[in-house]
Amino acid sequence: MEQLNTPQGQFQLSRFPIRPKDSLRAWDAADEYLLNYLNDENIALKGNILIINDTFGALSTALATHKPTTLSDSYLAEQGIKQNLQHNHLAPDSVHFINSLQTPNTTLDLVLIKIPKSHAMLEEQLHRIRPFINAKTTIIAGAMTKMVHTNTLKLFERLIGPTKTSLAVKKARLIFSTVTDINLPENPYPLSLNLSPEKFTQQEYTMSNHANVFSREGMDIGSRFFLETLVKSQPVSDEALSMVDLGCGNGIVGLIVAERFPNAQLHFVDESYMAVDSARINFQHAFPNRSAQFSTMDCLGGLEENSVDMIMNNPPFHQQNVVGDFIAQQMFIESKKVLKQGGTLWVVGNRHLGYQGALKRLMGNCTVIASNKKFVVLKAIKR
């Protein structure tokens, strides 16, 4: 835990989840720039304040006394903010949380935006807040300079109004947008995508993909390779198995598994609210007479130990802009806990990530089921 010094006060902040020997801070220079600017320019911190994409809670914690609302697509971000409020002895209800599928309930006076990695996500968020802002609303966005592109500014101009940027400070930049009457284009999200029958299925699926869903415009090659391998390796079965699509995205892996296991109970899990909702929509469209569970949570923290027969996992190798295998390692550890004896964990990953060694150390076994130049599909059994 490190201390963030701002004009609003000093705050002890940590990233969520807390990991041993984590040397990364829970804020960046753009957070500092935003908070300093609010103070230096005497921006009114009253009325209805909305903070968007506050990854670990630097903005929400520093402004908690002003009762902001925080909008995020990340369950982890929400938990991180709550954790940092607690660290700093701030009331848990000092920040109101809404997820990316919800909207504000009143006109906004101040909107602070951390620019997300996904351009589509930013576009959807600007559409979402547009009905709740007016010419009196102050809108300030912040990001590291590498995240601010010409397309970013054009997006603000197209959906909000005239836009300008600040000078860079510590490789961070602010964006200022003035709300004007414009001919607002239609929100294109969620996208609707038709998946034609492929090697792994004879069905055609219509996929609904929210803006923050990975590979929302088409199936990624890793998932395609994973599904082709699963279909070759797993015969159709009438067993009533308990299965989890971990890090489900739009749920395509779970859909194909559900097709091959008609009596299985599927559970779709992701930390993205948009991903889980996309999976829900897609499963209900594909199997209208079948039930499944859909959970937004941190890995498998909400599942009972020794309760699952099979887990399918395509782990992310980054959290926001930080690359590493820490999320995959957490997913593997929690998978071992929730699997029954004899239960299987199926994983697809880039060859260079070394998941095979990690699984062998954790589970005592790991088999390479398939591989190509870029990916491996691994299977580990809980003994």
Q: How many angstroms separate the CA atoms of 274 and 291, rounded?
A: 19
Percent share of the chain, pLDDT over 90? 86
Predicted pLDDT of residue 1 = 81
The H or E element spanning position 380 is strand 375-381
pLDDT in tens, 181-218: 999 999 999 999 888 777 778 788 899 999 999 877 77
Residue 365 CA to residue 100 CA, distance in Å, equals 39
Rounded to the nearest integer, the mean pLDDT of the chain is 94
- pTM to 2 decimals? 0.94
pLDDT in tens, 265-314: 999 999 999 999 999 999 999 999 999 999 999 999 889 999 999 999 99
Q: How many CB atoms neighbour CB 35 within 10 A? A: 23
pLDDT band at 317 (very low <50, low <70, confident <90, very high): low
Give the per-residue pLDDT at 150: 96
Q: Which CATH architecture has domain 191-381?
A: 3-Layer(aba) Sandwich (3.40)
How many contiguous H segments (helices) and E segments (strands) does the chain have?
Answer: 10, 20
> In the structure encoding, which two tokens stand for residue 266, read together?
């599927």
What average pLDDT does this structure show over 349-377?
A: 94
Q: Can you tell me the mean pLDDT for 155-171? A: 97
The Cα-based distances of 187 to 105, 159, 263 in angstroms read 19, 10, 38
- Do 2-177 and 191-381 show the same overall fold? yes
Q: Are 326 and 19 within 8 A, CB to CB?
A: yes
Indicate the fold that domain 2-177 takes in CATH.
Rossmann fold (3.40.50)
Q: Residue 324 pLDDT > 70, yes or no?
A: no
- Write the DSSP symbol of residue 198: B
Tokens of 139: 């809108």
Model confidence pLDDT, tens digit, residues 38-88 = 999 999 999 999 999 999 999 999 999 999 999 999 999 999 999 999 999
- Would you place residue 322 in the very low, low, confident or very high pLDDT band (cuts 50, 70, 90)? very low
Domain boundaries, the chain: 2-177, 191-381
Nearest residue to 6 via CA among 38, 44, 41? 38
Q: Can you give the pLDDT at residue 269? A: 97
DSSP string, 11-51: EEE--SS--TT----S--HHHHHHHHHHHHTT----S-EEE
Sign of the CA dihedral with 31 first, then 146, 212, and 318 last:
negative
User: What is the structure's pLDDT at 202?
Assistant: 75
Is there a contact between 191 and 217 (Cβ–Cβ < 8 Å)?
yes
Residue 323: pLDDT band (50, 70, 90) is very low
Q: Which residues lie closer than 8 Å to 20 by C-beta, 6 or more apart? A: none
In this prediction, residue 381 carries a pLDDT of 98
Query: Comparing C-alpha atoms, which of 117, 50, 111, 369 is closest to residue 234?
Result: 369
